[in-house]
């Protein structure tokens, strides 16, 4: 980490691994800013759907990404001035986010916007390439994962609690497919970086995972890394 820059904790990992919940709670405990990078891709997928831009139209999506009318102030997540936090959590938009996120021009267009979130006192961010591409000089890099079956069960429970219909076998199938797609994409593929610490949450409660990340970060601060 460059000494003059605020500290960053990156938490990367596959879909439904719990990285968003862990990252948000770590940020809260530390008093840091929080960036859910996946929300940018979900918002772009939703924006494209609303504007009739195909999720495979790379030039059109890149242009839309560069001017994406999003606002994260006051704890909200607004697209064109309309709260979109719940809308973008649908399975359809999640699939769209994975598709648009595989396009090099789209990732490049959103890169500067993500880096702009780095400010004092620090930032916790989760995604799939936060430690590898967006913040390669992060203070602490964590690769958070869980078994595909565990992740499918978690997603299924979330959907049921929201009152939405959910088919567990289909969710598992979608997660396995998304893992393969994210790992195989030519730009910023999903993978554990050599300097990222592995955190498997299959058998861990959220609080245990949060405490582990905080312990690792405290150790880095003490060692001056």
The span from the CA of 120 to the CA of 130, in Å, is 18
Is 131 flagged in the annotation as binding?
no
Q: How many CB atoms lie within 10 A of CB 26?
A: 24
Is 16 flagged in the annotation as binding?
yes
213 within 8 A of 199, measured Cβ to Cβ: yes
Is 19 flagged in the annotation as binding?
yes
Is 14 flagged in the annotation as binding?
yes
38 upstream amide cis, omega within 30 of 0: no
Is 15 flagged in the annotation as binding?
yes
161 within 8 A of 24, measured Cβ to Cβ: no
Is 38 flagged in the annotation as binding?
no
Is 98 flagged in the annotation as binding?
no
Would you call 188 helix, strand, or coil by DSSP? coil
Q: Tell me how far CA of residue 84 lies from CA of 33, 44, 47, 77, 78, in angstroms.
A: 20, 11, 10, 6, 5
The span from the CA of 159 to the CA of 183, in Å, is 25
Residue with tokens 């904790």: 9
Is 18 flagged in the annotation as binding?
yes
Residue with tokens 């960053």: 8
Binding site membership: which residues?
A: 13-21
Binding site membership for ATP: which residues?
A: 13-21
């Amino acid at each position: 980490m460059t000494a003059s820059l605020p500290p960053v904790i990156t938490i990367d990992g596959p879909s439904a691994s719990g990285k968003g919940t862990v990252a948000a709670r770590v940020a809260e405990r530390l008093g840091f800013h929080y960036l859910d990078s996946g929300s940018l891709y979900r918002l772009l997928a939703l924006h494209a759907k609303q504007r009739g831009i195909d999720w495979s139209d790379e030039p059109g999506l890149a242009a839309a990404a560069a001017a994406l009318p999003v606002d994260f102030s006051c704890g909200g997540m607004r697209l064109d001035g309309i709260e979109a936090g719940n809308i973008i959590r649908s399975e359809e938009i999640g699939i769209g986010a994975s598709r648009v996120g595989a396009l090099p021009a789209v990732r490049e267009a959103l890169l500067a916007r993500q880096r702009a979130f780095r400010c004092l006192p620090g930032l916790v961010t989760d995604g799939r390439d936060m430690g590898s591409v967006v913040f390669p000089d992060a203070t602490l890099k964590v690769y958070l994962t869980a078994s595909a079956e565990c992740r499918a069960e978690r997603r299924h429970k979330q959907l049921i609690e929201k009152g939405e219909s959910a088919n567990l076998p289909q969710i598992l199938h979608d997660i396995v497919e998304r893992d393969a797609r994210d790992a195989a994409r030519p730009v910023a593929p999903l993978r554990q970086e050599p300097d990222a610490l592995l955190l498997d949450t299959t058998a861990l409660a959220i609080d245990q995972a949060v405490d582990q990340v905080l312990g690792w970060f405290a150790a880095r601060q003490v060692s001056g890394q």
